Amino acid sequence: MSVQAWLFSRFSLRSRFIALIATLVFATTLLLGWVASRESAQQMEDNIGNATAEAAYQMIDKLDRNMDARIKEVKLLLAMQALTNDTNTNVLREQLERLQDNHNVVSWIGFTDPEGTVQAATEGILEGVSIAQRPVFMEGREALWIGDVHEAVLLAQLLPNPSGEALKFVDIATPVYDRNEELQGVLAVHLSWQWAEYIQHSMFAPTLQRQDAEMLLLSANGTVLLGPEALIGQTLNSLKHIPGPTYTSPQWAIETWPNGEQFVTGYARSSGFEDFSGLGWVAVSRKPVSTAFAPVEELQAAIMGIGILLALLFAMAGWMIASRMVAPLSRLASAADKIQDGEHAYCIPLESGSPEMKRLSTSMRNMVSRLLDQRQTIHRLEDLANTDPLTGLPNRAFLNQYLQLAIPEAERNKQSMAVMYIDLDGFKQVNDELGHHAGDLLLIEITQRLKTALRSGDVVARLGGDEFVMVLKTKQEHLEMLTHEVSRRLLTAIAQPILLPENKRAHVGCSLGAAWWPHHGLHIDTVLQLADSALYAAKSKGKHQLVIHRP
């Protein structure tokens, strides 16, 4: 007998059956997973590519719309009478500067005479200088003209440049005629290219950075106008899928860039918008293939992982069938452990495999349910025992328990406590004149005002009648300031009139006595007594005031 046959004979029939099931399921899962992953991967790649192209389209659409807005603004400038009238140069300059102040993307506005000499300009820049040989005049005297992105020549040394980088502009120029259709000159506007950078950074950067993506803008000849600093000014003619001049629909492809890295690349060519006919710009959105298609790889790994998991589950099913008599007891034991950890009675499963198991699980479920009901009843009774029924505030019993726990915590946190006794002035008169029901309503309203004066973490309790205690925790150096601040709020809030039924009003004040732990006493009971004594001192001094215990 061969070694393989001998080893195979050592396995039980159950083990062989499990191995056969696992092998069949594993092979089937691999086949189905391969088919499913191939189809789903293709669909996901298309979705990712289309999303990349859509991002490029959104960028170019925003740029086109903004350029259209700038052109409309220039056309509005033509309505200025100062351009066609014999107006003082200073007046014309002031009007141009006022218009520039209202359009933060305008770097310079100038008006030339028919020969190309600048007559008036913002900040007086280039006034008296001839720009007759510049495209902005040569093209602008014929018709409305829009120049592509370029670096400044004459303006480079004249305009402020905090960043120190080369200034770039987009030019708009238009002829100006008088009523007799005689050429009066050319209106020239230099738009700062920073507005395009602002659109790129403010609208797209957060999303693209999270996705490890980049947005570029190319000129009509493929030169990078916007994008990573290392690519600015480069011509990307090596990209094979840049859309032609007549192709304006968004598209995407996997491109190999000049650095040799592959990117999922989306393109959208400018087609203009309304008054802006377009300059042939191409927006490019790119993501590294490894990043963009990472979800595809994750999906494929998930499909294969699920397949392997299913194979293991089917293998385990054989063992579960063989040990089904033990499984109900294991589940009941596990449920009992969960209940011990604090979970509810419904964790006990109802086992129906056999009458005995069903009766045992039912009995355990009922028993745990009764125990939980008893625990909830005990908690409700504890709440009732520690809560004042009228105001809902903690009572004296709760206060004593709280202080026993608060003292060690304050010692650990190096904190001190201010204990403030509060007694209402004039409450007995309200009871005598308006009745006990009115007195109860007044106490409820006073309770809300006390809560309003509290900080988070402080405690106020009702000792009985119209007497309350407030406990404030803070640092030693803040005790006196906090005591006075809280007392001021209490005196002001409680002194406000209280509206009772039948349009009756009640006025009460409050006397306050305070003592500090451990400044006035190391034992909290001592501090409580000192605060109570300070309260009586406040009443004896004329009421509605604070008295702090002074040793």
Classify residue 335 as exposed, middle or buried by CB count within 10 Å of its CB (0-12, 13-18, 19+).
Answer: buried
Q: Please give the C-alpha separations between residue 63 and each of 57, 59, 166, 213, 272, in angstroms, as whole numbers.
A: 10, 6, 21, 19, 9
Give the mean pLDDT of 8-14. 55
- Reference 479, options 519, 529, 512, 450; nearest CA is 519
Cβ neighbours around 209 below 10 Å, total: 10
> What is the structure's pLDDT at 57?
78
> What is the structure's pLDDT at 506?
82
* Between 322 and 137, residue with greater pLDDT: 137
Give the mean pLDDT of 253-280. 78
* Between 431 and 196, residue with greater pLDDT: 431
> What is the structure's pLDDT at 62?
78
Is the pLDDT at 446 greater than 60? The verdict is yes
Q: pTM for this one?
A: 0.45
Q: Which of 28-32, 150-154, 505-509 has the lowest mean pLDDT?
A: 150-154
Tens-digit pLDDT profile for residues 200-223:
666 555 555 556 677 777 777 777
Is the pLDDT at 1 greater than 60? The verdict is no
Same CATH fold assignment for domains 11-322 and 396-548: no
Residue range 396-548 in CATH 3.90.230.10: no
SS3 at position 477: helix
| Residue 543 φ/ψ, nearest 5 degrees | 70, 170
Q: Residue 503 contacts by C-beta under 8 Å, 6 or more apart in sequence? A: none
Is the pLDDT at 526 greater than 80? The verdict is yes
> What is the structure's pLDDT at 345?
45
Looking at residue 523, the DSSP 8-state letter turns out to be S
Is the pLDDT at 524 greater than 70? The verdict is yes
Q: How many helices (H) and strands (E) does the chain have?
A: 16, 17
My answer on whether omega of the bond before 355 falls inside 30° of 0, hence cis, is no
Q: How far apart are CA 529 and CA 416, in angstroms?
A: 17
Query: In 437-545, at which residue ranges do the beta strands (DSSP E only) sit?
Result: 459-464, 467-474, 498-500, 504-506, 509-517
Q: How far apart are CA 513 and CA 528, in angstroms?
A: 10
Q: Can you give 344-406 as a three-state secondary structure string? A: CHHHCCCCCCCHHHHHHHHHHHHHHHHHHHHHHHHHHHHHHHCECCCCCCECHHHHHHHHHHH
Give the mean pLDDT of 511-536. 89
* Between 267 and 85, residue with greater pLDDT: 267
| Residue 421 φ/ψ, nearest 5 degrees | -85, 140
Q: Strand 509-517 and strand 546-548: pairing?
A: parallel
> What is the structure's pLDDT at 448?
86
Cβ neighbours around 239 below 10 Å, total: 19
> What is the structure's pLDDT at 513?
92
> What is the structure's pLDDT at 13?
46
Is the pLDDT at 542 greater than 80? The verdict is yes
| Mean of all residue pLDDT scores within the chain | 75
Ordered by start, the domain boundaries in the chain are 11-322, 396-548
Angle at 524 between CA 423 and CA 384, to 5 degrees: 65
> What is the structure's pLDDT at 118?
82
Q: How far apart are CA 234 and CA 221, in angstroms?
A: 11
Tracing tokens 């007044």 back to the chain, one arrives at: 442
pLDDT above 70 covers what percent of the chain? Answer: 68
Q: How far apart are CA 145 and CA 131, in angstroms?
A: 15
* Between 122 and 349, residue with greater pLDDT: 122
> What is the structure's pLDDT at 514?
92
> What is the structure's pLDDT at 185?
83
Per the CB < 8 A criterion, the answer to whether 196 and 63 are in contact is: yes
Q: Which of 7-21, 258-272, 528-542 has the lowest mean pLDDT?
A: 7-21
Q: How far apart are CA 284 and CA 56, in angstroms?
A: 5
Per the CB < 8 A criterion, the answer to whether 406 and 415 are in contact is: no
Tens-digit pLDDT profile for residues 470-487:
898 889 888 889 888 888
Tens-digit pLDDT profile for residues 68-126:
777 777 776 666 655 555 567 777 777 777 777 766 667 778 888 888 888 888 777 77
CATH number of 11-322: 3.30.450.20
Q: Which of 104-113, 140-149, 158-167, 247-256 has the lowest mean pLDDT?
A: 158-167
Is the pLDDT at 273 greater than 80? The verdict is no
